[in-house]
Amino acid sequence: ARLLGRNQICVYAGAPDDEDPARLALETALRQALRDEQLELHYQPQVDLVHGRIVGVEALLRWQHPTLGRIGPDRFIPIAEETGLIVAIGDWVLRRAVEQAAAWQRAGLLPLRMAVNLSARQLLQPDLARRIEGQLAASGLNPRLFGVEVTESMLITNFDQAVQHLRALRALGVEISLDDFGTGYSSLSYLRRLPVDVVKIDRSLVPDATAPAEDVSITRAIITMAHQLQMKVLAEGVESEGQAALLAANQCDQMQGYWFSAALPAAAVETMLREGRQI
Ligand code: C2E
Ligand code: CA
Ligand code: CA
Ligand code: CA
């Protein structure tokens, strides 16, 4: 039986997920990927519309399998979540991202904030905030140049502990972003209870010039609401100049998307910054 959401259960005759051969093969391959260093981080620039420059990057996992080729995080993160492998992978991501950001800080590249996606399982670890604090201290990275992205659904299982982690990190100066905003059952009263600095509007809610006026109103309402709660707004998945202009006209603070840049290897980010590429 599988849960389909609100009180709907679908009973089906096939093998359960954990016996699906393709899935099992991917799980085994993923364990090996972690051991054999097939995983890599790419970094997608986040631009500030007020300052007109890159202010941060989001670390995004990339997996290059020796025979299967590139496998997207949308395919392997859910498997890693289910099997618990995400904890080891998440640790690796945190270490790599902090090391990279510390190297950029030493190189004096620009004040550039590194944002990392956390998973639900990581937030359930009682020592998560303390470990991140330790890693930041050991690397010498200014905590203000570090950020974490979480989604609302991740906070549900152990709300109090998750909020404690976020508070502790925030007290250090780490920026907290609420990811995929608008895709869940977000409510104003709920958002108000969360220690959040940035609301990331999901790309499904980023309108373009041809969007109906109602869509633009929703996006504008989210931006206004976030600003009233003293939060910044970053729009993700911005693919066109039209979208960027519409967002700017509606006081969106930051954006990220293919219109500006896809996620890039570290060296390409450095080149972009050295060449002083602006928006
Ligand atoms: P996300 O956190 O919502 O990340 C944004 C996704 O949108 C990324 O996909 C990014 O490459 C893609 N994207 C960026 N700009 C555009 C655009 O203009 N148009 C479109 N169509 N897409 C755009 P990606 O890299 O495939 O990652 C997918 C998801 O996998 C992420 O969604 C995140 O939930 C998860 N993920 C990636 N890396 C990690 C990680 O290190 N840890 C964890 N826990 N999850 C990760
Ligand atoms: Ca994210
Ligand atoms: Ca998203
Ligand atoms: Ca996501």
pLDDT tens string, the chain, 279 residues long: the values are: 344 444 444 444 444 555 688 888 899 999 999 999 999 999 999 999 888 899 999 999 999 999 999 999 999 999 999 999 999 999 999 999 999 999 999 999 888 999 999 999 999 999 999 999 999 999 999 999 999 999 998 888 899 999 999 999 999 999 999 999 988 776 767 788 899 999 999 999 999 888 899 999 999 999 999 999 999 999 999 999 999 999 999 999 999 999 999 999 999 999 998 887 655
Give me the interface pTM, i.e. the ipTM.
0.98
Round to whole Å and give the CA distance between 32 and 26. 10
Please work out whether the CB of residue 261 comes within 6 Å of at least one atom of ligand 1: no
Quick check: helix, strand or coil at residue 239? Answer: coil
Please work out whether the CB of residue 258 comes within 6 Å of at least one atom of ligand 1: yes
Ligand 1: which residue has its CA nearest to atom 21?
Answer: 237
Q: Which ligand is nearest to the CA of 74?
A: 1
Please work out whether the CB of residue 100 comes within 6 Å of at least one atom of ligand 1: no
pLDDT of residue 7: 44
Round to whole Å and give the CA distance between 247 and 270. 27
Ligand 1: which residue has its CA nearest to atom 8?
Answer: 60
CA-closest candidate to residue 116, choices 105, 132, 103, 130:
132
Please work out whether the CB of residue 119 comes within 6 Å of at least one atom of ligand 1: yes
Round to whole Å and give the CA distance between 156 and 225. 22
CA of 88 to the centre of ligand 4 (A): 19
pLDDT of residue 135: 97
Sorted by sequence, the CB contacts under 8 Å of residue 103 that are 6+ apart come out as none
Tracing tokens 């359930």 back to the chain, one arrives at 124
Ligand 1 nearest-atom number relative to CA 256: 15
CA-closest candidate to residue 54, choices 224, 275, 274, 273:
273
User: φ and ψ at 196, to 5 degrees?
Assistant: -125, 140
Please work out whether the CB of residue 150 comes within 6 Å of at least one atom of ligand 1: no
pTM: 0.92
Kindly tell me the sign of the dihedral angle through the C-alpha atoms of 237, 240, 243, 249: positive
pLDDT of residue 170: 98
Best residue for ligand 1 mutational test, from 30, 39, 60 (most atoms within 8 Å of Cβ): 60
Tracing tokens 């039986």 back to the chain, one arrives at 1
Please work out whether the CB of residue 180 comes within 6 Å of at least one atom of ligand 1: yes
Residue 49's DSSP bridge partners are: none
Residue 95, Cβ neighbours under 10 Å: how many?
13
Round to whole Å and give the CA distance between 160 and 219. 29
Ligand 1: which residue has its CA nearest to atom 25?
Answer: 60
Please work out whether the CB of residue 237 comes within 6 Å of at least one atom of ligand 1: yes
Ligand 1 nearest-atom number relative to CA 42: 25
Give per-residue pLDDT as tens, 5-55.
444 444 444 445 556 888 888 999 999 999 999 999 999 999 998 888 999
Residue 244, Cβ neighbours under 10 Å: how many?
22
CA of 4 to the centre of ligand 4 (A): 19
pLDDT of residue 279: 55
Sorted by sequence, the CB contacts under 8 Å of residue 215 that are 6+ apart come out as 205, 207
Round to whole Å and give the CA distance between 225 and 231. 9
pLDDT of residue 278: 55
Sorted by sequence, the CB contacts under 8 Å of residue 147 that are 6+ apart come out as 56, 113, 114, 115, 116, 174, 175, 176, 177, 197, 198
pLDDT of residue 184: 77
CA of 253 to the centre of ligand 1 (A): 20
Q: Which ligand is nearest to the CA of 238?
A: 1
Q: How far is C-alpha 224 from the geometric centre of its chain's CA atoms?
A: 22
If you compute the radius of gyration of the chain from its CA atoms, what whole number of angstroms results? 19
Give the Å distances, CA to CA, from 95 to 9, 137, 139.
40, 12, 9
